[in-house]
């Protein structure tokens, strides 16, 4: 069964305190690993797609990396406006599977 597991469920950081979010997946026929950001009351906002192990992508303070079994979203020197839920998703041979997300709170 295709599964996507995210950890931690919630993360509280001080402004400027770097950290990483984890997304582990067991998806057959993986066709990319997607990261989204979701603010309260809004739909998910696309951040990155990673297609192969070793691939990295960056956007402002975020960098996503991919291995054969997991992906990491690294947040460098976060700001309060980075507070949101971060979701990862993997399409395989079954419908797109989302993780439950990591709720990130960045405190000034």
Number of residues that bind another protein (CB under 8 A): 21
Q: How far is the CB of 91 from another protein (least distance, A)?
A: 5
Q: Which of 13-21, 66-74, 76-84, 88-96 is the region at the interface with another protein (rule: CB under 8 A)?
A: 88-96
For every residue of 46-83, DSSP letters joined together read EEEEE-STT-EEEETTEEEEE-SSEEEEEE-S--GGG-
Q: How far is the CB of 19 from another protein (least distance, A)?
A: 20
Binder of another protein out of 7, 26, 55, 98 (CB under 8 A) = 98
Binders of another protein among residues 5 to 34 (CB under 8 A) are: 31-32, 34
Provide the β-strand partners of residue 65. Answer: 56, 72
Quote the CA–CA distance of 5 and 70 in Å, as a whole number.
9
Residues 6+ apart with CB under 8 A from 40: none
Q: Specify the residue for token string 């054969």.
A: 68
* Chain contacts with another protein (rule: CB under 8 A): 4, 31-32, 34, 36, 41-46, 49, 87, 89, 91, 95-96, 98-101
């Amino acid at each position: 069964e295709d599964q996507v597991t995210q950890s931690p469920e919630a993360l509280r950081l001080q402004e400027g305190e770097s950290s990483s979010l984890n997304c582990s997946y067991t998806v057959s026929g993986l066709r990319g690993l997607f990261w989204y950001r979701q603010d309260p009351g809004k739909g998910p906002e696309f951040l990155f797609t990673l297609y192969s192990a070793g691939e990295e992508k960056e956007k402002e303070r975020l960098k996503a990396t991919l291995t054969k079994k997991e992906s990491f979203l690294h947040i460098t020197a976060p700001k309060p406006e980075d507070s949101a839920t971060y979701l990862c998703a993997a399409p395989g041979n079954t419908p797109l599977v989302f993780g439950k997300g990591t709720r990130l709170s960045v405190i000034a």
